[in-house]
Amino acid sequence: MRIELIETFLDLVATGNFNRTAERLGVTQSTISGRVQALERALGGRLFRRSRLGAELTPGGRRFEPHARMLQQEWTVAQRAVASGSELGRSLRLGIQQDLSGPLLGELVREIRRFLPASQLYIELDYSGQMCADLVTGALDFALIYTPQPHPDIHFHGVGEIPYHMVARDHRHFDELRAEDMIFGQFSPAFARAHRDMLPDLSDAILSVGMSGAMLALLQSVGGAGYVMKSRLGGIGEQGLVQVEGAPRITQPAYAAMHLRNRTSGMHRRLAQIAVRLIEQFD
């Protein structure tokens, strides 16, 4: 089985459009059609029905979809196994939400080393959407994310909440702030909604950023006020910043994410337990 046939099938399921899938995969529409036909011949049945609305799955296509996702994931895992030249043991690929990496990464690696001393570790800092996509394909084994992306092949487990506090360079009290003073924290869609719900008059900012480290750097250089992770508050006085008195705290839920097939795995449950314990230290 050619893996590009599976990847084309799954992309076409996502887009529902031959032209759009051709653009996304960087090939011609005739190539997409040829791949679909080749897969249909191999399986002995039609997978898509074309209509004015696009490409719709046939009943056979719907039955094949979960198998296709599993084949794609197995192929990625197999590639990783063959490509790894290590004799130390299995490799473990972890994804971490970018804003969590600073305060969490070192402790997480130390904890994992304690119970998986022979494993190769690969750490990827990214945003939730890409990490969820990588879990589906098998490019990642486990991820700590802010925004679950619903998918039948991904299991999410809440591991705690991350507190964020407002800091500023030129303002000490919350009632001094105006909308033009704010740098908006785009740490996740949930955080942005909470910010707008709690601070509707301070959410129409012209500048926004998605990491606490970048927020601190901007506050130092251009002034204003914005939210940063509580663990970043230590030493802000040395940077000429203060915690804003009277400003509400905003909390961001965090989740352990893994492929559905791994939700009962002892290793993955241990990773989730480690995440819970580390995030408890944030508050």
The model's pLDDT over 244-264, given as tens digits with 9 standing for 90+, comes to 999 999 999 999 999 998 989
User: What is the per-residue pLDDT across 119-161, written as a single tens digit (0 to 9) for each?
Assistant: 788 899 988 999 998 898 888 999 999 999 988 889 999 999 9
Model confidence at 60: pLDDT above 50: yes
Residue range(s) in the chain whose domain bears CATH number 1.10.10.10: 3-83
Model confidence at 80: pLDDT above 70: no
pLDDT range class, residue 76, cuts 50, 70, 90:
confident
Closest CA to 227 of 256, 255, 199, 254: 199
Among 48-52, 80-84, 184-188, 190-194, the least confident range: 80-84
pLDDT range class, residue 84, cuts 50, 70, 90:
low
Q: What residues does 118 pair with on adjacent strands?
A: none
CA separation, residue 189 to residues 34, 195, 227, 273 (Å): 39, 10, 15, 25
The amino acid at 193:
R
What's the pLDDT score for residue 92? 87
Residue range(s) in the chain whose domain bears CATH number 3.40.190.10: 91-160+253-280, 162-251
Question: What distance in Å separates the CA atoms of residue 60 and residue 223, rounded to the nearest whole number?
Answer: 59
Top mean pLDDT of 66-70, 89-93, 196-200 is at 196-200
Q: Select 91-160+253-280's CATH number: 3.40.190.10, 3.40.50.10470, 3.30.70.20, 3.40.50.300.
A: 3.40.190.10
User: What is the per-residue pLDDT across 12-28, written as a single tens digit (0 to 9) for each?
Assistant: 988 999 999 999 889 99
CATH fold, domain 162-251, is D-Maltodextrin-Binding Protein; domain 2 (3.40.190)
Please give the average per-residue pLDDT across 205-231, as a whole number.
92
What's the pLDDT score for residue 88? 40
Q: Select 3-83's CATH number: 2.60.40.10, 3.40.50.720, 3.30.420.40, 1.10.10.10.
A: 1.10.10.10
What's the pLDDT score for residue 90? 67
The mean predicted confidence, pLDDT, of the chain is 89
Please give the average per-residue pLDDT across 217-238, as a whole number.
92
Question: What distance in Å separates the CA atoms of residue 64 and residue 130, rounded to the nearest whole number?
Answer: 24
